[in-house]
Amino acid sequence: MIENQPIGIFDSGVGGLSILESIRQTLPNEQLIYVADAANAPYGKQSDAQIVDHSLRVCRFLIAQNVKAIVVACNTATTIAISAIRATTNIPVIGVEPAIKPAVEQSKTGVVGVLATAGTLQSTQFEKLSNLYGKNIEGREIELITQPCNGLVERVEAGDIDGPIVTQLLEQHLQPLLKRNVDTLVLGCTHYPFLIETISQITGSAVAIIHPGEAVARQLEKRIGQESQLRVKTDQPSIQFFSSEVTERYRFRFEALLKQSITLQSINLPLHQS
């Protein structure tokens, strides 16, 4: 039965767990497989060819696990590699892109900030998205201000979500946006939702923060629903966690972010065949 096959979710590291959490809430019956490509993290600073290569290797592993859909729980891999992934498989592939459209729609001042990796912000797909939604909308002038956030992925990977180093980095990244009076902030990297509390302490409550998890989970529900592949069994679904680099410390990171104990299995990613 296809509906009992798992859904594969991947990111360069632990960031995609923020998307996994939303998927678990929206689709509590689904079996899930999560892959962190920690051996190759962070993706954001690498060339497009490297990001495509890493993503295809992870997807090959997931497809070998018989997944019925893949969620690319990484903005960088989505903007750069999703077409290459879709070209290798017929199963639904759902990506995560910076949520510019909803941010622009809900912004009152029309000044919207986007936090993302340099890789995402430099991608052609991001340029398309900002041309589509980040200019004038329904006669309103929109100002889209982008901020590459070097160093944040590494802090979250290191388990630092509220310490002095990450707080200082966030202040540096957020001050230019606050000076320009953004009222809505898009978290354009799946690692950043784990920093929401620290971010909102700096921005204050007047700035709305957009986390894409729920929209991605709903899109996934719609896509697998269209294929009549939603799992209806309500027994405890299995959730497996893999990483291309496994240490005790890294497992603790997963456990701290998920607030539960887990088994973290090691994988050797197969070479993709082009």
Residue 248 CB, nearest distance to ligand DGL (Å)?
22
174 or 231: whose CB is closer to ligand DGL?
A: 174
Q: Which stretch binds ligand DGL (CB under 6 A): 42-50, 84-92, 207-215, 227-235?
A: 42-50
Total site size for ligand DGL, rule CB under 6 A: 16
Question: What crossing angle do the helices spanning 196-203 and 164-179 adopt, rounded to 10°?
Answer: 50
Residue 189 CB, nearest distance to ligand DGL (Å)?
4
Check residue 11 for interaction with ligand DGL (CB under 6 A): yes
153 or 182: whose CB is closer to ligand DGL?
A: 153
Check residue 191 for interaction with ligand DGL (CB under 6 A): yes
* Tokens found for residue 17: 């767990």
Q: Which stretch binds ligand DGL (CB under 6 A): 22-30, 69-77, 203-211, 263-271?
A: 69-77
Residue 39 CB, nearest distance to ligand DGL (Å)?
12
Q: Which stretch binds ligand DGL (CB under 6 A): 36-44, 85-93, 163-171, 208-216?
A: 36-44
Q: Rounded to an integer, what is the distance from CA 95 to the centroid of its chain?
A: 8
Check residue 146 for interaction with ligand DGL (CB under 6 A): no
Does the active-site annotation cover 149? Answer: no
159 or 237: whose CB is closer to ligand DGL?
A: 159
The CA-based angle 196-200-201, given to 5 degrees, is 120
Of these residues, 70, 169, 170, 189, which one is catalytic? 189
Of these residues, 36, 70, 74, 208, which one is catalytic? 74
Check residue 193 for interaction with ligand DGL (CB under 6 A): no
Q: Give, in order, the Cα–Cα distances in Å from 232 to each of 27, 29, 103, 237.
A: 10, 6, 33, 11
154 or 231: whose CB is closer to ligand DGL?
A: 154
Residues between 215 and 244 that touch ligand DGL (CB under 6 A): none
Check residue 213 for interaction with ligand DGL (CB under 6 A): no
Does the active-site annotation cover 59? Answer: no
- Catalytic residues, by residue number, are 74, 189
Q: Which residues bind ligand DGL (CB under 6 A)?
A: 11-12, 15, 41-44, 74-76, 117, 120, 153, 189-191
